[in-house]
Structure 1
Amino acid sequence: MIKKLIAACIFLFWNVPSFAQSTADSSIGNNAFVSWAHKHAYPLQASDKATDDKDLYPIKQMIGDARVVALGEPAHGFHEPLAFRNRLFKFLVQHCGFTTIAIEGDLAQSRLAADYIAGGRGTAKDAAAALSIGEPAAENIELLNWMRQYNADSAHTIKLRFYGMDIQMIGFPGGTTPNHAALDHVLTYLQNVDEGAARRANVELAFYLTQMSVAKYPALSLKDQNVLTIILENILALLERQRMVFINRSSKDAYQWAHRNAIAALQRDRMMRVIPPDQPGKIPPNAWKAMNARDAAMADNINWILHNGANGGKVLVFAHNAHVKNAPTTGGVWDAFAQPPNSAGEYLRSILGNNFFIIGSSIAPETTTLQANSLDKALLQVNRPRYILDLRAAAPSPEVAHWLSLNRPMQANKVSFFMLPVSTAFDALLFLDKDDGK
């Protein structure tokens, strides 16, 4: 069960029919927020039918000089947030100095997409398929094709970059198929720059590569775990010690990918080492440690992308609300943890401060089962099909600011909820109609 909590945000699909009541006030505060939001909402065009970018300029004013903007999605795979993400990224590239997008996908597997938009071989569909489980999203294919066309234009001297920010997907519960893409990339690179080192690394890793599955990895003895960690650290140390030699034998870009994949392999190792044993039908209280390790790794990868991979520009991050929010994860199923897991957004806020701007999002619900105190229901009551709110503008309205400061439920993938203090978790809120004009 716990593996569902870790891999690919599968944990967010759990059905949580009841959860702790919000500390929110009565409907008086709710009504004040809805009234304020109706006046301060910036309406948006449907992403699939937009005729110009005029409605996006308020977002430019909101984000100001922030070098990293995080756009959250309330559910994976829904068209509306993906379509808006594409539209927003194009706007940020054309008007705000953004050069890079980082999505909640495996960093190692994103190399195919990075090469494709740089004019490499293959197809956008193949590159998008490597980023997700199941059929590649049409919106990802559209984004990659647009980025490739942009980079092919000689007038654009600064080229766009694409990255996954997540550590390697560990698979589904009970899975026994080894999964070690990050290490594969590193070993292939070593084969090209130092055959002897590659041969030694392959020998040392031979046994461990067969154990890198959801079922087998946590079953390694402590001795084997320690040996594996030492091997991974030694590979990273080799890359750093031989940096100039290896760059001369390959390229700076190839070296940077190999070096980061070596770090990603260690990040995954750290996460796997703290995954507790399964408890059938229960969530182990210490499972928060693995979630923290994953989100800390994502934040570290984003910070690296900003300073090393963004071509001197700014970065749009796209991931689930649960990862981008500047608040720990509490409520519902997550209350089983011994302590609330921290999100990547919290880590990034501590690293980047005001250079980090967070946009949370909500989709119009498909049912009427939302709690009266939920954020999603209040956003729906604003009675606008698509809009964005700058939450910082609520400061002069004490009643609204208080409403936003309280813990309240927010939907996660339509079937789950977490609790969060809205104005702490997000700088702005995006609301999208469920059909977005399609």
Structure 2
Amino acid sequence: MTTSIRDAARELTGGSLTALLSPGVRVLGLGEPTHGVEAFLEVRNEIFRHLVEHEGYRSIALESDCLAGLAADAYAGGGAGALDEAMSRGFSHGFGASAANRELLSWMRAYNERSPSHDRLRFYGFDAPLEPAGPAGPRPVLTALHDYLSAHLDLPVTRETLDGLLGPEEPWTDPAALTDPARSVGGGPEVKELRLIADDLGALLTAHAPHLTAATSPDDWWRADLYARTAAGLLRYHAGMADPSSARLGRLMSQRDAMMAGNLDAVVRREARRGPTLAFAHNRHLQRDKSHLWFANVPIQWWSAGAILATRLGDAYAFAAATFGARGADVPAPGTLEGILSALPHARAVVDPARLVAALGEKPAPRVPVDHTYLALDPATVHQADAIVFLKEI
């Protein structure tokens, strides 16, 4: 390994990571290359503690259900209930079983117990309610939005009409609709009417924001806005599930990340006067370049939530991509990016992508992982990241 490549890397600490970022960052997107590896979550926790204690960060947003995140945030803020309940109700995708997520929530609660209310840490989920078994139905968020507005405004639709259009829950959550568009309720006339209603209610929420905020509270209005975004997004997603064209999966991925970007944008606006936010998700949801994967031998491409947010924030958005060297028998070839980084002297390193690319000269070969759940970094686009977090072995 040349000295210049060694010079592009430092031992991973919170300080060595933030040294690579511009001072005006409002959202730091920290990626992981695969789910279910505690080592990346442990690194995330370590970095978040540094960001809170030394860089003024006051919130964290995870790739987890935005509605479930309300329960996790309530616990972190000192709310009633046991930690086990918060882990069960506050995370989606099985992430509540993670020991590192449990440690994160416990640390946040302890920090908040010794901090004034205006300085408390907030927890957000920024994913849509889209479990692997399929999307949630819109009833809880649409009715909650209606209830909030109807307490203060005359609405163009009654709760009874809304309930009739929503119908029973089972068709909304039919897992067969994931692979069979004909099983989706999204193409029915009721969904088309519900999309118009959700749009109208969201517009009323915005138009009457001064009155509603004064009559309730800024936090209550923010939560209602979350319901409005989620209701509109879920109805749009269900309509997309009914699309029988070959572009269906790509459009669904695009819709999901657009919802994620909308949630992150709302977090940025809410946290504007308090401090920056750490967003943690898969690299594919945070990278600036176009995301892609193969599903059932079909190539899918979409713009990630991070790429969308970066168009709004510019240099105030930063992305740190994470990857690893060896995992059991899955050892990167020497000529790949991960193979080259594996020769670094650090077990955990943070790498300056610009200096790394300059030192490499020619682009390394792409890694072909043994495990299909791991998506390797694209050597052709690593320069678009602000940092690379590398773990030599997991």
Which letter does structure 1 place at the counterpart of 2:322?
A: S
- Counterpart position of 2:99: 138
After TM superposition, the structure 1 stretch with the greater mean CA deviation from structure 2, 237-246 or 83-92, is 237-246
Any gaps of 5 or more consecutive residues in structure 1? 1-30, 45-54
Matching of residues 202-351 of structure 1 within 5 Å: 202-208=160-166, 210=169, 211-214=171-174, 215=176, 218-275=184-241, 284-309=246-271, 311-330=273-292, 332-333=294-295, 336-337=298-299, 340-351=301-312
Query: How many Å separate the matches in 1 of 2:153 and 2:327?
Result: 56
Tell me if structure 1 keeps the 8 A contact 2:93–2:131: no
Tell me if structure 2 keeps the 8 A contact 1:107–1:168: yes
Q: CA, structure 1 residues 334+37, in 2 after alignment: closer, same or farther (shift >3 Å)?
A: farther
SS at 1:101's partner residue? strand
Query: How many Å separate the matches in 1 of 2:166 and 2:349?
Result: 50
Query: How many Å separate the matches in 1 of 2:160 and 2:343?
Result: 59
In the TM superposition, what is the alpha-carbon distance from 1:72 to its structure 2 partner? Answer: 0.3
Q: CA, structure 1 residues 416+97, in 2 after alignment: closer, same or farther (shift >3 Å)?
A: closer
Query: How many Å separate the matches in 1 of 2:217 and 2:161?
Result: 26
Matching of residues 386-405 of structure 1 within 5 Å: 386-394=348-356, 397=358, 400=360, 402-403=362-363
Q: CA, structure 1 residues 169+42, in 2 after alignment: closer, same or farther (shift >3 Å)?
A: same
After TM superposition, the structure 1 stretch with the greater mean CA deviation from structure 2, 73-82 or 239-248, is 239-248
Two-structure CA RMSD over aligned residues (Å): 3.2
Structure 1 residues 123-179: Cα deviation after superposition (integer angstroms, max 9, x where no partner)? 333223231233531211211121122222246752211111111125516x9x857
Structure 1 residues 211-268: Cα deviation after superposition (integer angstroms, max 9, x where no partner)? 4224467334353331110121122123223333433332210111111221121122
Query: How many Å separate the matches in 2 of 1:271 and 1:425?
Result: 29
In the TM superposition, what is the alpha-carbon distance from 1:409 to its structure 2 partner? Answer: 4.2
- Counterpart position of 2:323: 362
Q: Residue 417 of structure 1: which of 375, 380, 388 is its match?
A: 375
- Counterpart position of 2:180: none
Q: CA, structure 1 residues 254+195, in 2 after alignment: closer, same or farther (shift >3 Å)?
A: same
How many aligned positions are there? Answer: 381
- Counterpart position of 1:58: 16
Q: CA, structure 1 residues 201+361, in 2 after alignment: closer, same or farther (shift >3 Å)?
A: same
In the TM superposition, what is the alpha-carbon distance from 1:289 to its structure 2 partner? Answer: 1.0
Tell me if structure 2 keeps the 8 A contact 1:107–1:163: yes
SS at 2:322's partner residue? strand
- Counterpart position of 1:124: 83
Query: How many Å separate the matches in 1 of 2:131 and 2:196?
Result: 21
- Counterpart position of 2:340: 378
1:169 and 2:130 are equivalent in the alignment: yes
Tell me if structure 2 keeps the 8 A contact 1:75–1:320: yes
Tell me if structure 2 keeps the 8 A contact 1:409–1:417: no
In the TM superposition, what is the alpha-carbon distance from 1:393 to its structure 2 partner? Answer: 2.7
Q: CA, structure 1 residues 411+189, in 2 after alignment: closer, same or farther (shift >3 Å)?
A: farther
SS at 1:125's partner residue? helix
Query: How many Å separate the matches in 1 of 2:93 and 2:274?
Result: 31
Matching of residues 64-79 of structure 1 within 5 Å: 64-65=22-23, 66-79=25-38
Query: How many Å separate the matches in 2 of 1:78 and 1:368?
Result: 14
1:85 and 2:51 are equivalent in the alignment: no
Which letter does structure 1 place at the counterpart of 2:289?
A: A
Query: How many Å separate the matches in 2 of 1:170 and 1:242?
Result: 33
Normalised by the length of structure 2, the TM-score is: 0.84
Q: CA, structure 1 residues 269+332, in 2 after alignment: closer, same or farther (shift >3 Å)?
A: same
Tell me if structure 2 keeps the 8 A contact 1:73–1:81: yes
